Amino acid sequence: MKLNTQNAEFIRSAAKLSDCPRDILPQIAFAGRSNVGKSSVINRLLNRKNFARVGSAPGKTTHINYFRIDKKVYFIDLPGYGYAKVSKQERARWGKLIEDWFADTSLLTLGIQLVDIRHKPTADDCNMVEWFKASGKPFVVVANKHDKIKKSEWEPNVARIRETLDLPEEVPVISFSAEKGTGKDELMALILEHIEATTGGEAISENT
């Protein structure tokens, strides 16, 4: 399957479930702590500089952002969590939005959980991974900001991520750098493989 990443459109920023587009297109959803690099990873995959907005201040993405790629698939930038300076009310709003979104994952083709390769995953990261596990859909963990650690930390840090998130063996952890492009081909190949598996390799152009 070919995916023309040049053909990427911003579709919608959804504040509630009823604003989320629901059509036949498969969905690739990106989750992770605020500032971990969700928008940067999407930009890297699409070879764009500033398509998904990279926040100058963390905690900026509070909506679910839908991008449609080549009229075949949605890349979904889920709102970040774990930002300390967020009000209780805002946190509750986030929780409701995520809960509503995960209530129907029938179109979820692949979940992409981002973590920071430098750190032990947080309790929030573990909770987020539980949402993906409960969805029953395949997901991968992307360990971003790989450019920020020493070579001697590569392996132990990935092992710590796998252990802390209690990942099933079949869930890959991909070392990634949105900054340098590390891991891009590996992640893109996985995404394509999963889209193909859900669509039978058929090009979907219909958007009802």
> Where do contacts with ligand GTP occur on this chain (CB under 6 A)?
32, 34-40, 54-55, 58-61, 80, 144-145, 147-148, 177-179
Q: Pick one of Mg ion, ligand GTP, none as the site partner of residue 178 (Cβ within 5 to 8 A by kind).
A: ligand GTP
Q: Which stretch binds Mg ion (CB under 5 A): 56-64, 133-141, 143-151, 171-179?
A: 56-64
The one of Mg ion, ligand GTP, none whose footprint includes residue 37, by CB under 5 to 8 A per kind, is: ligand GTP
- C-alpha distances out from residue 167 to 67, 88, 95, 122, 161, Å: 28, 30, 23, 14, 9
Alpha-carbon span 79 to 60, nearest angstrom: 8
27 binds, among Mg ion, ligand GTP, none (CB under 5 to 8 A by kind): none
Place of tokens 């926040």: 55
Residue 170 CB, nearest approach to Mg ion (Å)? 28
**Residue 71 binding: pick among Mg ion, ligand GTP, none (C-beta 5-8 Å cut-off by kind):** none
The one among 27, 61, 109, 113 contacting Mg ion by CB under 5 A: 61
- Other beta carbons less than 10 A from residue 92's beta carbon: 10
Closer Cβ to ligand GTP, 51 or 198, answer by number = 51
Q: Name the residue whose CB lies closest to Mg ion.
A: 39
Give, rounded to a whole angstrom, the gap between the first and last alpha carbons of the chain: 22
Two tokens, residue 57 = 């201040």
- Closest residue to ligand GTP, based on beta-carbon distance: 80
The CA-atom distances, in angstroms, between 105 and each of 69, 99, 137, 208 are 19, 11, 8, 18
Give the nearest distance from C-beta 63 to Mg ion in angstroms: 10
- CB-based burial label for 124 (10 Å; 0-12, 13-18, 19+): middle
CB nearer ligand GTP, residue 91 or residue 148:
148
Give me the DSSP letters along 88-127. Answer: HHHHHHHHHHHHHHHT--TTEEEEEEEEETTSPPPHHHHH
- When asked if residue 39 is in the footprint of Mg ion (CB under 5 A), the reply is yes
Note the residues at the interface with Mg ion (CB under 5 A): 38-39, 61
